[in-house]
Amino acid sequence: MSQKKAHLLSILQGQPVIPVLLIERVDDAVPITQALLRGGIKAVEITLRTLAALDCIKAIANKMPEVTVGAGTVLDNTQFEAAEKAGAQFIVSPGLNSQLIEKAASSDIPLLPGAITPSEIMTAREKGYDILKFFPAEQAGGTVYLQALVSPFAGVMFCPTGGISLPTAAQWLTLPNVICVGGSWLAPKKLVERQDWDAITALATQASQLHGH
């Protein structure tokens, strides 16, 4: 196994849930991540869907070395490069394309690309990726769909995200092809706006007590 793949595996196996964080204000990045860490969450994904995202990655990478910070919703090589420069330690994409394949090959940090259909999974495998994001998980077919991929795609592992929350996470985590799940439910906008860090710690504590493989 390559060093990059082993690193990705250790990040994903380190906790049953990876929080997907959409942070609007850079000043919230460290308090949110501290609140999650108090609840036992040691890796977070900051999606590039907000203008503050790269600065949030920078702030977490600089001020919280005990946390592994990744960048999510990375769609092309420019975003990959910007996220890596900001200090991202892993890259997550909803899909896979040639720009990402090329960029990831020349980078030291691992890529978790997304795939849903059998052909997408086969293409990802062909390119050397057998740890994949499964997005949008609930909308694409839910646990019954992913369960149906266990037998034909032995050895391929997934991190499902999209529409998952605490009550459904446990069910996803019982699938033999799921390493961990991801979701934005750990840091809801309302709690962030109220700066209710204790409530975020409580959500993180519940999530980190779920059982993965």
Phi first, then psi: give them for residue 74, nearest 5 degrees: -85, 115
Q: What is the residue-wise DSSP string for 58-96?
A: HHHHHH-TTSEEEEES--SHHHHHHHHHHT-SEEE-SS-
> Is residue 135 within the footprint of ligand 3PG (CB under 6 A)?
yes
Stretch that binds ligand 3PG, among 57-65, 78-86, 162-170, 198-206 (CB under 6 A): 162-170
**Interface with ligand 3PG in residues 46-105 (CB under 6 A):** 47, 72-73
| Binds ligand 3PG (CB under 6 A): choice among 68, 162, 179, 201 | 162
**Marked catalytic residue, from 42, 45, 189, 193:** 45
Q: In the set 77, 93, 143, 184, which binds ligand 3PG (CB under 6 A)?
A: 184
Asked if 91 and 111 touch (Cβ cutoff 8 Å), the reply is yes
CB within 8 Å of 35: residues ≥ 6 apart:
187, 197, 198, 200, 201, 204
Q: Which of 182, 192, 200, 207 binds ligand 3PG (CB under 6 A)?
A: 182
Closer of 65 and 167 to ligand 3PG (Cβ): 167
How many CB atoms within 10 Å of residue 70? 26
Nearest residue (CB) to ligand 3PG, 113 versus 182: 182
User: Of these residues, 58, 84, 103, 133, which one is catalytic?
Assistant: 133
Q: Does 163 bind ligand 3PG (CB under 6 A)?
A: yes
Instruction: Note whether 180 binds ligand 3PG by CB under 6 A.
Output: no
- Asked if 114 contacts 96 with a C-beta cutoff of 8 angstroms, the reply is yes
- The answer to whether 133 is a known catalytic residue is yes
Read off the tokens for 163: 């529409």
How many residues bind ligand 3PG, per CB under 6 A?
13
Count of alpha carbons within 13 Å of 208, Cβ hemisphere only? 19
Strand partners, 91: 71, 111
Q: Return the active site residues.
A: 45, 133
Binding site for ligand 3PG (CB under 6 A): 20, 47, 72-73, 135, 161-164, 182-185
